[in-house]
Structure 1
Amino acid sequence: MAAHWWPRLRRDIALALLGSAVLASAEAGSVDAGRRSFGLHCQSCHGSPPDKLLIPAVLKGANAPALIRAAIQNQSQMARLASLSDSDLANIASYLAHPATTDVDRVLDWAEQRYPALLSPHAATSFAEGFLYRGYAGGVYIGFNSAQAYFLDSRTGGGPQPLGSLAAFLQQAEAAGF
């Protein structure tokens, strides 16, 4: 017997993804890509993670790629970074805002808040068989394999059901402040 909430969850997710396609806001920054970019371009001067006491101005770049661009343009020692793309800067800004998390954790935290009746209590992120996932009461799982999201309800006996891309869900999570 299929759960009554499954069609509603799929509809809500489809509407959220459709809504993300028409958002006027900038592309969501990836914490994971930002961590890599920060390591390549910023870490030698700013430390990793950025030293809040040594360089507090760096943290003003959290979720503010325009401030990072302005710093690059106004600091002669950062001129070599002028070729960084808007996407690179959005990723670095996301990393500065969330240095201790991952993109998957941001999306799962958002999903837990959005669907508390289904995705509770809060669970730690685990890894098994190529999936980063969280398991919830009643045998419900949300997981990510590469850049794809999956849903599994162990009560129905089926396999993981694809939900959409990590990038699409990350846009929704970022729009909600995660």
Structure 2
Amino acid sequence: MPIKHISEALTFDDVLLVPARSDFLPKDSDLSTNLTKKIKMNIPFSSSAMDTVTGSLLAIAIAREGGIGFIHRAMPPEAQAREVEKVKKSESGMILDPITVGPDDKISDALKLMENFRISGVPVTVKGKLVGILTNRDLKFETKFGRKVSSVMTSKKLITASVGTNLSKAQEVLH
């Protein structure tokens, strides 16, 4: 790839945006940009792959806003993979391989999983069958963390969809 000469470079101190009326609402503006030919970001924001800058926490926060955080490589490959997994599992439109807990697991163990993966809830299963869901709302006033998940999980009126349901249909079912 040939090197291009940049004729002008600006920093934040070189630019001043003067407030003014616009012909459109902020919600109608599009800040998306392409990171690569195949990867589009909703906001033009990424974080540096430096060990003092980007770990899973920052990558999750940026991803939730539509940007991308590059996990640093100043750690063994296994640790990098765990960091990426935390980001991938933290929030997704539809998780095909969710982190689950059992009804006999301790609340403290479920909380550790939720904190580790930065998720607000986990399905409760027995032999792959959904029997409940445990969310932050179920745990809001809990003080006895040695108790079983089944003692606080939501097990009635669960909203479910069949395997293979697309994201838009799943959203329709939830609303």
TM range (shorter): under 0.3
Give 1 or 2: higher helix fraction. Answer: 1
- Give the structure with higher Rg (CA): 2
Comparing both chains, which one has the higher relative contact order based on Cα–Cα distances under 8 Å and sequence gaps of 6 or more?
1
TM-score between both structures, scaled by the size of structure 1: 0.23
TM-score between both structures, scaled by the size of structure 2: 0.23
